[in-house]
Amino acid sequence: MEAGSLPVELWRMILAYLPLPDLGRCSLVCRAWRELILSLDRTRWRQLYLGCAECRHPNWPNQPDVEPESWRAAFKQHYLASKTWTKNAAILETSVCFSLFRRRRTRRTLSVGPGHEFHSLGSALAMSSLFDRILLFPGLHEEQGEIILKVPVEIVGHGKLGEVALLASIDQQCSTTRLCNLVFMPAWFSPFMFKTTSGHVQFDNCNFENGHIQVHGPGTCQVKFCSFKNTHVFLHNVPLCVLENCEFVGSENNSVTVEGHPSSENNWAYTHLLGLIRSSPGVLPTEDSDSLMSLDLESRDQAWSPRTCGIVIEGSQSPTSPATGSPRAGSREAEVGSNGERVARTPDSSDGGLSPSGEDEDEDQLTYRLSYQVQGPQPVLGGSFLGPPLPGASIQLPSCLVLNSLRQELQKDREAMALASSVQGCLIRKCLFRDGKGGVFVCSYGRAKMEGNIFRNLTYAVRCIHNSKIIMLRNHIHHCRASGIFLRLEGGGLIAGNNICHNAEAGVDIRKKSNPLILCNQIHHGLRSGIVVLGNGKGIIRNNQIFSNKEAGVYILYHGNPVVSRNHIFKGHAAGIAVSESGRGLITENVIRENQWGGVDIRRGGVPILRSNLICFGYSDGVVVGDEGKGLLEGNTIYANKGCGVWMMASSLPHVTSNHVSYNGLYGVAVFSQKDGSGELPGGHGAQENFSEDGDAVLWETELEKDDDPPRRPITIALVESNSVNHNGVTLGPPCASSPPQPPDLYIQSSEALHIVTNVIHANRVRGITVAQSSQLTRVANNSISCNRQSGVKIEAQCKVELRGNGIYDNRGHGIITKGDSTVMENDIIGNRGSGLQLLPTSDTKVIRNRIHSLRASSIAVQGHAQALVQENTIFQGKTSKFIFQQSSGNQACVIQNNRLLVFKKSDTWRLVNPPARPHLENSLRGPSAAHGGQKVTAMATRITAHVEGGYHSKRSIFCTIL
């Protein structure tokens, strides 16, 4: 643009000298001039804003070094806000003086100070009229009596802030007033510096020191660019108050108290304040500005199909009469069993690991065709975590597990959006609370909304009690000496998009029936837990990032009952989630990863529902169910933890169903009677917890109220059902000459029963199932146990075990090894590299109606003087060179009768029909896993060629150990 042959740059230099009124007139000349005026944002408009004595930097006190998007817009917003006190519609319609004031004619300025018209504020007020301006000149102005404001006036300090100090106690009884550019201190006779009960008061650019400000509803207040040093702002039943860009320092109690339900009676300023709030830029997220901490997330889908049943054995079916052939030349000593079958003795191999043989495998190799539909749990969150973890690679989650932004969550949840958009009671925005005892205290049905504030170095940031409601958006709460946010006695509201970190106690503390919505926060690096829910507290904890806390990310105890869903809980120094002391809760669809002490820790009466979570990459166990822990573990993906997938005590009576447990470093599922040091718990789970409001010890058991929720159906026996447990023991490397011997199992007497039902136990590094010293019955039924590196099932001495309806296939050791008191009934034990069934000395076993086949050894091997009843079984000969039975001579305690024997031939085919191949899982899945769709039908059409590989791991990785 050029005007009068002058370039734009010169016009900008000329216009930069114009005052505010002239700039406004120039912008009305034409569109080109308006654009020219707007282009002065970083120069002239910035000078005008910063040169105004009534305002401070628009981002003070939190970000004084950050420039606003537009200085002109910030100046306009401040100018409009400073005129709110003059918009009294009732006076405008009835007052001639106010009409003249609007024409800028008869409004007077009264000067107060030495050498001026008035010597005191009281004398000036006595002579003032409506909307007069009282100007206090530099100095100390002390009033000896209470000042009562009966007419609307404006009291302004002349000069820079800090040059005018006012020691007074002011009682506002008029409809509106404004105080600006003053330092307030209380008078000697009263701690109250200002109070009002019905009118509107506006404070701009003031300092308050060592006193109190009190506003009672229907009174309202508007405070901006003010500093409060050891000053308490008390708001009682206020319909609407706005505290914006203020600093609160060094409070000995609460900086702001909001008490009582907002008054239903509103004064004249309520509508104007509401319009001003809605027109000003808020802190609700935009499409681009809202993003939580980014993670390296992408999918790593890898197919996984557990090998189970439905086996067709290609060979020849012989007559069903006992075999009468003689052993081949050079074979070991052979004897004829009680039913006429020749048996051969082989060296004892109790652990099931076999060495490569020199036999001609190509000639006698068998092929297993799997064509069978197996129902198993469906990984809701962890579908991409079915393949092995990549060594040394960064953790990458699938895109479906990326947390939603706050904006996306609010768009999905209309109730949350309505809460975030509502304004009632007190609005505190862009303020700084620091270096004192308390920040904001909301009580007795109070309502408060806090946006974009910073709370630091306080005892606590926000307390909400007695049926009060808070809305907290985009605040930064850190380095508090107790909890950051504390809710008690049915407190509630919305806590969303906040950064809560480095607090000495919990980031958020929920108690006594409080029920907030905690959404899209970052809660991290706390010296205790991230979120604590106790004393019948509730709440919805959703879509948060909770990480790097020294104790549990979420700690639930003393009948706490929250809903914890779709959170990322990671890199904690203790458990990701801990449930103790009768805590409950629904924990669903969370990503719990890289925690030091267990992904989820349940003990001491904790009864949570743990459903559809991804628990992965932990440095210890995935899920720990300790002493007296209970609950339902359903549909979880427990993956690549360095310890066990699930560690539990049978006496705790958990229900473990429909989970995917894979690629964990040690056991998939380990069940014990007692764990060493279980009475001494790590940080976050100890008995010396500190859950008082300000750090004092409190015995919360005495405060517990009657539980309103109906109890779930009790479980009398620990139950592990319908899980997929595979590829565990990934940290156990192959043995070498210098590796230590395999450590023995822990044999601790157990008096608890256990049911292991309808699980898929596949490709674990050592055995499928090991049962050690279980004095009560352990029932193993309808499981698919396949492709494990050693035996399918091992039963130690003095254990009582029932195996019924299982499919035990293609394990590299024996199918079943037993030393204990066991019943083996109606199982399919097919294609294992060692014996199908090995009965060791001290065993007392009933083997009834099974189908048994061994690929390389005898189908049934009876060692020493084992007691056994073997009857009504169908037994296949694995190779022409192997015998069906192997039995020690002189063993009269082994009874073999009424068995059907099939001798190997290549020309025919054996099929498992009538009944079909076990396990029969279709009719076995039941309970909550079926109700919640935690099942998946996996169709498998695969060929498995049996081949013995050299070398086996010297350490254990077991599905289930009962100790």
Q: How far, in Å, CA of 226 to CA of 646, rounded? A: 56
pLDDT at 296 over 90: no
- Cβ-based neighbour number of residue 387 at 10 Å: 15
- Cβ-based neighbour number of residue 123 at 10 Å: 13
Question: 806-835 burial, b if ≥16 CB within 10 A, otherwise e?
Answer: bbbbbbbbbbbbbbbbbbbbbbbbbbbbbb
pTM of the model: 0.83
Amino acid symbol at 613: N
Q: Which of 133-142, 364-373, 512-521, 630-639 has the lowest mean pLDDT?
A: 364-373
pLDDT for 333? 32
| Element holding 79 (H helix, E strand) | helix 71-82
Q: Which of 329-343, 604-618, 633-647 has the lowest mean pLDDT?
A: 329-343
Question: Dihedrals φ, ψ of 71, to 5°?
Answer: -70, -35
- 95 is a domain residue: no
pLDDT for 924? 46
* pLDDT tens, residue by residue, 806-837: 999 988 899 999 999 999 999 999 988 889 99
pLDDT at 457 over 60: yes
pLDDT for 534? 95
pLDDT at 946 over 80: no
Q: How far, in Å, CA of 37 to CA of 16, rounded? A: 9
- 275 is a domain residue: no
pLDDT for 880? 57
Q: How far, in Å, CA of 391 to CA of 531, rounded? A: 33
* pLDDT tens, residue by residue, 770-789: 887 678 888 999 999 998 88
pLDDT for 673? 74
* CA-closest candidate to residue 936, choices 679, 637, 550, 509: 637
- 30 is a domain residue: yes
Is 228 in a helix, a strand, or coil? Answer: strand
pLDDT for 205? 93
* pLDDT tens, residue by residue, 503-521: 999 999 999 999 999 999 9
* pLDDT tens, residue by residue, 520-557: 999 999 999 999 999 999 999 999 999 999 999 999 99
Q: How far, in Å, CA of 631 to CA of 762, rounded? A: 25
- 540 is a domain residue: no
pLDDT at 745 over 50: no
pLDDT at 374 over 50: no
User: Residue 921: pLDDT band by 50, 70, 90 thresholds?
Assistant: low
pLDDT at 228 over 50: yes
Question: What is the SS3 string spanning 331-396?
Answer: CCCEEECCCCCEEECCCCCCCCCCCCCCCCHHHHCCEEEEEEEEEECCCCCCCCCCCCCCCCCCCC
| Element holding 420 (H helix, E strand) | helix 414-421
Residue with token string 């003032």? 128
| Cα–Cα distance list, 361 to 344, 509, 856 (Å) | 20, 66, 10
Which of the two residues, 572 and 291, has the higher pLDDT score? 572
pLDDT for 541? 98
pLDDT at 371 over 60: no
| Element holding 545 (H helix, E strand) | strand 545-547
Question: Dihedrals φ, ψ of 874, to 5°?
Answer: -105, 120
- 25 is a domain residue: yes
pLDDT for 284? 57
Percent of the chain whose pLDDT exceeds 90: 47
* pLDDT tens, residue by residue, 23-58: 888 888 888 888 888 888 888 888 888 887 777 888
Both structure tokens of 20: 């505010």
Question: 752-784 burial, b if ≥16 CB within 10 A, otherwise e?
Answer: bbbbbbbbbbbbbbbbbbbbbbbbebbbbbbbb
Contact criterion met (CB below 8 Å) for 382 and 398: no
Mean pLDDT of 402-406: 92
- 64 is a domain residue: yes
Q: How far, in Å, CA of 200 to CA of 205, rounded? A: 17
> Alpha-carbon torsion 674, 677, 683, 685, what sign?
positive
| Element holding 408 (H helix, E strand) | helix 406-412
pLDDT at 137 over 60: yes
Mean pLDDT of 929-945: 30
* CA-closest candidate to residue 187, choices 141, 249, 254: 141
Q: Which of 748-757, 877-886, 951-960 has the lowest mean pLDDT?
A: 951-960
pLDDT at 315 over 70: no
Total domain count, the chain: 1
Residue with token string 């590796």? 739
Both structure tokens of 563: 């809903």
pLDDT for 249? 96
Question: 503-535 burial, b if ≥16 CB within 10 A, otherwise e?
Answer: bbbbbbbbbbbbbbbbbbbbbbbbebbbbbbbb
Both structure tokens of 393: 């690679």
pLDDT at 94 over 60: no
Query: Range of 56's domain?
Result: 8-89
* CA-closest candidate to residue 828, choices 870, 782, 866, 787: 782
Mean pLDDT of 902-922: 76
pLDDT for 39? 85
Q: Which of 6-20, 741-755, 877-891 has the lowest mean pLDDT?
A: 741-755
pLDDT for 632? 95
Question: What is the SS3 string spanning 863-927?
Answer: CCCCEEEEECCEEECCCCCCCCEEECCCCCCEEEECCEEECCCCCCEEECCCCCCCCCCCCCCCC
pLDDT for 38? 84
- 40 is a domain residue: yes
pLDDT for 396? 76
- 689 is a domain residue: no
pLDDT at 631 over 70: yes
676, with CB counted inside 10 A (0-12, 13-18, 19+), is exposed
CATH of residue 32: 1.20.1280
Which of the two residues, 229 and 938, has the higher pLDDT score? 229
User: Residue 928: pLDDT band by 50, 70, 90 thresholds?
Assistant: very low
Is 25 in a helix, a strand, or coil? Answer: helix
Mean pLDDT of 794-799: 88
pLDDT at 307 over 90: no
Q: Which of 367-376, 393-402, 560-569 has the lowest mean pLDDT?
A: 367-376
pLDDT at 958 over 70: no
pLDDT at 130 over 80: yes
Q: How far, in Å, CA of 499 to CA of 483, rounded? A: 14
CA angle at 801 for the pair 797 and 804, rounded to the nearest 5°: 140
User: Residue 750: pLDDT band by 50, 70, 90 thresholds?
Assistant: low
Both structure tokens of 669: 């599922």
pLDDT for 257? 97
pLDDT for 884? 76
Q: How far, in Å, CA of 739 to CA of 732, rounded? A: 11
